[in-house]
A and B are shown apart, each in its own frame.
Chain A
Amino acid sequence: MTAAILPLYPQHVSRPSPSDRSPTFGLLLGLVITLSAVLAYSAYMTWQIRGLRELQTNLVDRNRKDSLQLLRIQNDLNLLAVAMRDMVSSNEPYPLTAWSAQFERIRTDLDDAMRLEAGFAASSRTPEQSAFLTSSFTQFWDAVDRIFALARGGKEKDAREQVQNSLQERQASLSTAVARLLVQNSENEEQAGQRIIQIYDRVRRQVYVFLAATLLAILLSSLSLIRWNRSLFARLEEISERRSELAQKLIATQESTLRYISRELHDEFGQILTAIGSMLRRAGTHAPEGSSLRADLQEVMQTVQTTLESVRTLSQALHPVMLDEAGLESTLDWYIPNVERQTGIEISYEKQGEPFPVDGSAGVHVYGVLQEALNNVARHSGAKRASVRLRFLASTLELEVKDHGTGFPERPNRRGS
């Protein structure tokens, strides 16, 4: 007699590839790249903002302050022009030296304005422009000094002619030069405004690019995580299925082995022992009545009979052949009175519902549970009475084994299948 031995392990066991095992390295790499990108972009933005601030502070603000000083100079030159017009006018009754104090006040203000303007215009003015402006003012004031000297020397007419012929032209030339500088400042301011707009545009474009790159990185990371999670859950499901399959194969193998041993004990050893008993019975008939040989043969025959019953009991305990041949109900009908006889426990057995044929595998499990439960009652509960209830319900088959013994220590309910 043979038994089918099922393979214990699945034939195809795929191992996870290193890339499927953990996404930690990829996530760390992504984190480092993202943090590096944020740091680099922050440094770049700081640099751009600093440049913008320098542009505004060093160019636009200084340019504006320079223009204010140029306007101050222009205003002083206009005051000088008005004074010179009065000096050469024939309607004025005053001598030229009467304007000397006014010229000194304007000169002081102009010197102060020129000093401040030179400080603000340092970055936007060429050395030639600065030198021209300085030398022009120097020549103008030299001419003024000479004219007032002539006037004080009594040469009023010569002095007026020099004002008319030389000083007014120098003033006009200076006014023109200052006006040019004002125009240049205005142009510089306009260019700075253009550069600021360009910087804002460039930064705005880069913000969009950075945001798009960040969103893309987040999207790719999320997709990668989703993919990895799906792969992980699929693998867990596969492992769970394999585990369940392995457990089922293990149980099936155990049942198959027990069935095989039970069959061997029942069929082979049972037949051999029955044959030995028959031969001993025949041999006993040939021995003289009342002889010691006949008594010995009788004793051996009793021993063989006891062994035969033990073999059959063991065979039924391992796997009741009756379960395969007569079904669960008949097996329990035979088994429960047998336990009563062997243990001395009074067992109340009740069947309920409309019975249906029970599958062989399920019958083995139900029988195994009943066997273990009654063994526990006999060994551990100390009970003298127990009850067994088999219920055939519309959607389930139920087995209840209840005793009135000591019970088991309090623990959470154990569930299984």
Chain B
Amino acid sequence: MGGQIVFSRPPEGGTLVHLTVPREKAESKAESYGKEDHSVARG
């Protein structure tokens, strides 16, 4: 799908998996998608 996945080790330790997908490949052409409030982070 034209994306890129990178596995790395952050300086503070552990593992970071970073997936990037171009928007033109990721975005659906369908119009019916409701907007939601995503400003609140869950912990």
Contacts and interface: CB of A to CB of B under 8 A. Distances in A.
Interface string B1-37: 1111111111011111111111101111111110110
A362 B25 contact: yes
A66 interface: no
B43 A358 contact: no
Interface of B: 1-10, 12-23, 25-33, 35-36, 38, 41-43
Contact of A408 (B9, B26, B29): B9
Contacts of A104: none
Contacts of A399: 17-19
A350 B5 contact: no
Interface of A: 327, 329, 346, 348-353, 355-362, 365-366, 369, 373, 376-377, 381, 383, 393-408, 410, 413-417
Contacts of A407: 9, 13-15
Contacts of A402: 10, 14-17
A355 B19 contact: no
In this complex, the member of A351, A376, A395 whose beta carbon has the largest number of chain B beta carbons within 10 angstroms is A351
B15 A376 contact: yes
B23 A351 contact: no
Nearest to A327: B33
B35 to A, nearest CB: 7
Nearest to B31: A357
Contacts of A377: 15
Contact of B21 (A346, A357, A396): A396
14 contacts: A348-B41, A353-B38, A355-B33, A356-B27, A357-B28, A369-B19, A396-B20, A396-B23, A397-B21, A397-B23, A398-B21, A399-B18, A400-B18, A402-B15
B10 A362 contact: no
Given A348-B42, A358-B26, A381-B14, A415 B21 contact: no
Contacts of B18: 398-400
A209 B14 CA distance: 75
Contacts of A361: 1
A399 B21 CA distance: 9
B38 A351 contact: yes
A241 to B, nearest CB: 14
Nearest to B42: A349
Contacts of B3: 362, 365, 417
Given A350-B41, A351-B38, A404 B23 contact: no
B17 A408 contact: no
Contacts of B43: 346, 348
Contacts of A358: 26-28
A404 B26 contact: no
A417 B42 contact: no
Contacts of A405: 13-15
